[in-house]
Amino acid sequence: MRAFDLVKRNPVATAVAGVLAAGAAVTLATSGGTFFSPAFYGYGYGYGGAAVPPPTVQTASYRLVAADGGVFDFGTAGFQGSEGGVHLNAPVVGGTDIASTGSTSAGNGYWLAAADGGVFSFNTPFYGSMGGKHLNAPVVGIASTQNSKGYWLAAKDGGVFSFGNAKFYGSMGGTALNAPVVGIAPDPATGGYWLVGADGGVFSFNAPFFGSMGGKHLNAPVVGIASTPNGGGYWLVAADGGVFSFGNANFYGSEGGKTLNAPVVGMMSTDNGKGYWLVAKDGGVFSFGDAPFEGSEGGKTLNAPVVGMMD
């Protein structure tokens, strides 16, 4: 385990400056300065700390992924290798582990994906890639199937590439988009997936649509999406640390409205969906709900910026 190098943020807010509601008024209930968000089939955007206080603190782990292929592990995450220090044809844009939508008991391997569609596997099977093939747009993300026997790559133009037992259910490739696609998340319930655009628009493929930020004013572009463990909802995260929750994804707080040393680049849910982490470009980690803080790369000199996180 790495030494703590960033003070853990209190998951209970002392004040909330503003909350947005989707289509209906938001009901607020306060107790001891805690804000509770009814983020069911709507969204919440916090300018303070977390909303729903964590009932328990669970043991958890996470890994940070850098653009040079470097991997930093925290908590109980075991280091399985990286591309750090290796010449890459294109920068790494994200990673996914073999249990990205549930318990880490399934194993400890992971995949990294590069902008040219290349895939690097560590302690897990290689199912193929788009490396060396012509792409209409660079790859921006990767997501694994529920049983970890396949994965999807998502491109900036909304194109989707499936490998292993990851079924192709459609894409936005060839369609005019209001904003580029920035991420992909799997639906554990249906085996489908969601794509998210920088404007907060969400595209569903064999997965329920729970809402989006498309067409709404954003203080900063959306940079990622994370699904709940049961597939009943998802969160969007913006570069300023704002978090938007949809379906049964509860709002536990955000970094929206705060001064950050570096923009947020991604997020990840805890195994039970009662919390999440945000990660910034400089490797800083912010924890909310029951997500324990296990350390970060914040304040350290990195060879390349962090681009995402995974179990």
Determine the pLDDT at residue 25: 30
* Per-residue pLDDT tens digits for 134-184: 999 999 999 999 889 999 999 999 999 999 999 999 999 999 999 999 999
Q: From CA 175, how far away is CA 192, in angstroms rounded?
A: 19
Whether 192 is in a domain gets the answer yes
Any residues with CB less than 8 A from the CB of 54 and at least 6 apart, and which?
11, 252, 274, 275, 289, 290
What is the residue range of 234's domain? 29-279+291-310
Determine the pLDDT at residue 99: 60
Is the pLDDT score of 194 beyond 80? yes
Amino acid type, 93: V
Q: From CA 259, how far away is CA 121, in angstroms rounded?
A: 36
Whether 160 is in a domain gets the answer yes
Whether 213 is in a domain gets the answer yes
Whether 11 is in a domain gets the answer no
Whether 305 is in a domain gets the answer yes
Mean pLDDT calculated for residue range 204-227: 98
Number of Cβ within a 10 Å radius of residue 31 = 8
* Per-residue pLDDT tens digits for 25-73: 322 222 222 222 222 223 333 333 345 444 444 447 899 999 999 999 9
| Distance (Å) of CA 167 to CA 18, 154, 171, 269 | 40, 13, 12, 23
Q: From CA 108, how far away is CA 197, in angstroms rounded?
A: 30
Whether 10 is in a domain gets the answer no
Determine the pLDDT at residue 107: 54
Is the pLDDT score of 102 beyond 80? no
Q: Which two tokens stand for residue 37?
A: 């968000």
Whether 6 is in a domain gets the answer no
Determine the pLDDT at residue 23: 33
Determine the pLDDT at residue 26: 28
13 closest CA partner among 266, 258, 263: 258
Whether 254 is in a domain gets the answer yes
Q: What is the pTM of this model?
A: 0.81
User: In angstroms, how far apart are the furthest CA atoms of the chain?
Assistant: 57
Is the pLDDT score of 229 beyond 90? yes
In percent, the amount of the chain with pLDDT more than 70 equals: 78
Determine the pLDDT at residue 154: 98
Residue 252: pLDDT band (50, 70, 90) is: very high
CB of 279 closer than 8 Å to CB of 65: no
Residue 19: pLDDT band (50, 70, 90) is: very low
What's the alpha-carbon Rg for the chain, to the nearest Å? 18
Determine the pLDDT at residue 131: 98
Q: Mean pLDDT in the chain?
A: 83
**CATH code of residue 295:** 2.120.10
Determine the pLDDT at residue 11: 34
| Distance (Å) of CA 209 to CA 139, 201, 228, 231, 247 | 23, 11, 13, 11, 9
The count of structural domains within the chain is 1
